[in-house]
Amino acid sequence: MASQRKHSARLTAPVAAPAGVVYGLLADAPRWPVLLPSYIHVERVDSSRDGDSLRLWQLRPGPGRHSQGQGRYSQGSESGQGQGQGQGQGQVRSVFARRVLRPRERRVDFDLRDPLLPDAPAHGSWNVSPESSGRCLVTLCQEQPAAPGQTRETLQEQVRGELAALAEAAERWDRLDELLLAFEDSLYVQGSPEIVYDFLYRIADWADLVPHVEYAEVTEDRPGVQNTLLHTSDPDTGDTTVTRAVRLCFPAAGRIVHRATLAPDPLAAHYGEWSLEPDAQGVRVTHTHQVLLRESAVHDVLGTGALPVDARRHVRERLGRASTETLTLARWHAESALRRLR
């Protein structure tokens, strides 16, 4: 039997960041969704001294589309076609990764397996070579069986995109403490976890239920993978913002993960999770956020002279207010249902 045809790519890019910083970013996979635009969610399945196993959810742009957009306003919506698509966002691909971490050599070897294509694994490696104290060269090699419609050029473009995203994230290394923000809001609900989860899951109904949501459009071409388009209002300014996101829903675990693919300034990235922790009396509901600020937009949004600390405060207040409003309505929804049953 003839062997399966394969495509391979090997590209090197200079990165204006220390080699140790770049290797650390590659090794710290759970942070990728807030630093690397194509990653929706990363879960570490297990880990050992030599490496780890991951499940990765990644957004692959559709033909002729870019993987990430930006801006404050948007008009209309785009209809997506194909598995896991919506609003023109692309296709969500889930793969399992096994990695061997070699910190001394600053090298990461990996194997990728798509559950839908178990007989077509991909293999590759990241190599980080220092050039000076503040610069390095990063090489990404990847080999995979040729899929229908895929060419060697397609794989090269994918590898080139991964390198560019890594470089952009790593070159902020000396400002990440200012630009990264993490926080959470939570409350306790004396009601059914299933009712709370159902409220959070039914984001398509939020325009009728949540005051700051003016319009909601949702497609779910695969169970548990939601592509959303929301128009939301700011009660202070009256402005309308447009947000696109991919949401991954895990009902058995009581979790909904979301990653913005179009976020309002000054957000460069927004990744979050709704999580439920039930007990005998009810459930604690928490909404966590991880945010990366867009430096170039701080002055545009907050005015000349504004600093990243001002943007952090602005984002915390705005997102926290929206979270608290949604959490409060979820509690009212669940506790009202409980009162009716009594």
pLDDT at 4 over 50: yes
42 and 139 co-located in one domain: yes
Q: What is the mean pLDDT of residues 141-162?
A: 86
pLDDT at 272 over 50: yes
| The pairing of beta strand 180-189 with beta strand 213-222 | unpaired
CA distance 16 to 7: 29
Q: From 110, 144, 171, give the residue that closes a domain.
A: 171
pLDDT at 132 over 70: yes
pLDDT at 76 over 50: no
The one-letter code for the residue type at 89 is Q
Chain mean pLDDT for the chain: 88
- Higher-confidence position of 144 and 298: 298
pLDDT at 6: 86
134 and 20 co-located in one domain: yes
CATH of the domain at 298: 3.30.530.20
Residues paired with 19 in a beta bridge: none
Closest CA to 34 of 310, 230, 326, 267: 267
50 and 145 co-located in one domain: yes
> What pTM did the predictor assign?
0.87
Closest CA to 14 of 107, 136, 106, 130: 136
- Higher-confidence position of 6 and 68: 6
pLDDT at 79 over 60: no
pLDDT at 64: 39
Q: Which has the minimum average pLDDT: 77-91, 122-136, 245-259?
A: 77-91
Q: From 136, 171, 206, give the residue that closes a domain.
A: 171
pLDDT digits (tens, 9 = 90+) for 153-203: 888 998 999 999 999 999 999 999 999 999 999 999 999 999 999 999 999
pLDDT digits (tens, 9 = 90+) for 212-248: 999 999 999 889 999 999 999 987 777 899 999 999 9
Q: What is the mean pLDDT of residues 61-76?
A: 37
**Residue 328: pLDDT band with limits 50, 70, 90:** very high
Please tell me the total count of domains within the chain: 2
Q: From 140, 171, 202, give the residue that closes a domain.
A: 171
**Residue 121: pLDDT band with limits 50, 70, 90:** confident
What are 90's two structure tokens? 């692309």
pLDDT at 85 over 90: no
pLDDT at 67 over 70: no
pLDDT at 72: 27
304 and 284 co-located in one domain: yes
- Higher-confidence position of 70 and 155: 155
Report yes or no on 110 lying in a domain: yes
For residue 127, give its domain range. 9-171
pLDDT digits (tens, 9 = 90+) for 284-295: 999 999 999 999
Report yes or no on 109 lying in a domain: yes
pLDDT at 148: 67
Report yes or no on 3 lying in a domain: no
pLDDT at 89: 62
pLDDT at 75: 25
Q: What is the mean pLDDT of residues 95-120?
A: 90
268 and 315 co-located in one domain: yes
Closest CA to 139 of 153, 129, 150: 129
155 and 185 co-located in one domain: no
**Residue 339: pLDDT band with limits 50, 70, 90:** low
pLDDT at 37 over 60: yes
Q: To 10 degrees, what angle do helices 308-341 and 193-201 make?
A: 130
pLDDT at 66 over 50: no
